[in-house]
Structure 1
Amino acid sequence: FLMAGRIWRKEHESMNPSCLVSMAHAGGGDVMVWGMFSWHTLGPLVPIGHRLNATAYLSIVSDHVHPFMTIMYPSSDGSFQQDNAPCHKA
């Protein structure tokens, strides 16, 4: 998702090998995805093939958020929050 994630660890675990993941970098590209989650389940993970602007964001909301919210909260008692990224403010 276009939301910065946080990792919570206890102070003594900060460099514990069981908390670290090693990575091997290969030459190549990158992948940008947009995603959402609820208390109940994970929502769709949408690949973004270009820079995310307001138009693309509104398309994601229309195509993915609305159907997800309708299925997960048929009584319309759910709420959607976003992280105030510039493209979300349009």
Structure 2
Amino acid sequence: MKGEEFSERFLQKTCKFGGGGIMVWGCLSWSGVGLLWKVSGNLKTNSYIDILENVLIPSVDLHSLHSGWTFQQDNAPYHRSKGTKQWFGEQKLEVMNWPAQSPDLNPIENL
């Protein structure tokens, strides 16, 4: 009714921050997008390596990227951990050196 548009019974409360969220891991290449993985909880080295094994490698196979490519990631602690570096070495995968605090340069941030 006229004059009641701001009455509490007509308003829906919202939350600008802290209302929830979802984290996903994804990858892309010149030949298209790879698989997407929903991340549960906080990522640590072992869970990141699980993603690389179960999502990155199948995405590489999906797009037939068996040689001549370089992996790009930011500088999250689990990206530069000893275990992750060891995994990339064992897989013989090249990882691009990347400056700290530069997500704006990462193409997947805009996907």
Q: Using the TM superposition, give the Cα deviation of residue 37 of structure 1 relative to its aligned residue in structure 2, in angstroms.
A: 0.7
Q: Using the TM superposition, give the Cα deviation of residue 57 of structure 1 relative to its aligned residue in structure 2, in angstroms.
A: 0.4
Q: In the superposition, relative to structure 1, how do residues 71 and 88 fare at CA in structure 2: closer, same or farther (>3 Å)?
A: same
Q: Partner of 1:73 in structure 2? A: 64
Please tell me whether residue 34 in structure 1 is matched to residue 62 in structure 2.
no
The residue type equivalent to 2:55 in the other structure is H
Normalized against structure 1, the TM-score is what? 0.61
Distance in 2 of aligned mates of 1:52 and 1:74: 26
Q: Partner of 2:34 in structure 1? A: 43
Q: Describe the superposition over 1:56-83 as per-residue Cα deviations: whole angstroms up to 9, x where unpaired.
A: 1000000011111123135422222211
Query: Which SS does the other structure have where 1:45 is aligned?
Result: strand
Q: Using the TM superposition, give the Cα deviation of residue 25 of structure 1 relative to its aligned residue in structure 2, in angstroms.
A: 4.9
Query: Which SS does the other structure have where 1:88 is aligned?
Result: coil
Question: Structure 2: 5+ residue runs without aligned partners?
Answer: 1-13, 82-111
Q: Partner of 1:62 in structure 2? A: 53
The residue type equivalent to 2:54 in the other structure is D
Q: Is residue 70–residue 76 contact of structure 1 (8 Å, CA) maintained in 2? A: no
Q: Using the TM superposition, give the Cα deviation of residue 40 of structure 1 relative to its aligned residue in structure 2, in angstroms.
A: 1.5
Percent identity over the alignment? Answer: 36
Q: Using the TM superposition, give the Cα deviation of residue 32 of structure 1 relative to its aligned residue in structure 2, in angstroms.
A: 0.9
